[in-house]
Structure 1
């Protein structure tokens, strides 16, 4: 998975989020892909920029990445 793939997934999660849950979905993106982002040394800012989103959202991605060290998504934990 490339940085551009991650950017595409981030944009999709943001765009498809329910009204008022866009930032929540950015956090979820960071949680879902956080370990992969860390393993491959991708920078949240670069992913956000590649997605064509506001650079300030990199902070929100980073929060999710940090949370990914400690939490798992419910649907993934059941698998």
Structure 2
């Protein structure tokens, strides 16, 4: 999986969140869900946002989710 694939996933998640007025939460959730993978593969959040057709200003929100991914454990 590369930036293009993650961009498609992010775009879908973002638009699902928009329907429920939870788009910002979906940016965090994306960072939490894919954060470890993004860090391990050294992928670019800017490129992911570009492929998702979202502004680069959302980068900080995804990076916050990535930071949270270090502390979140699925149960």
TM-score (norm 1): 0.86
* TM superposition outliers: structure 1 runs of 4+ over 6 Å: none
Provide the residue aligned with 1:49 in structure 2.
50
Q: Could you tell me which runs of 5 or more consecutive residues in structure 2 were left unpaired when the two chains were aligned.
A: none
Give the paired residue count. 74
Normalized per residue, which structure has more helix? 2
User: What does 1:7-46 correspond to in 2, within 5 Å?
Assistant: 7-17=7-17, 18-46=19-47
How far apart are residue 20 of structure 1 and its match? Answer: 2.1
Q: Could you tell me which runs of 5 or more consecutive residues in structure 1 were left unpaired when the two chains were aligned.
A: none
2:56 alignment partner, SS class:
coil
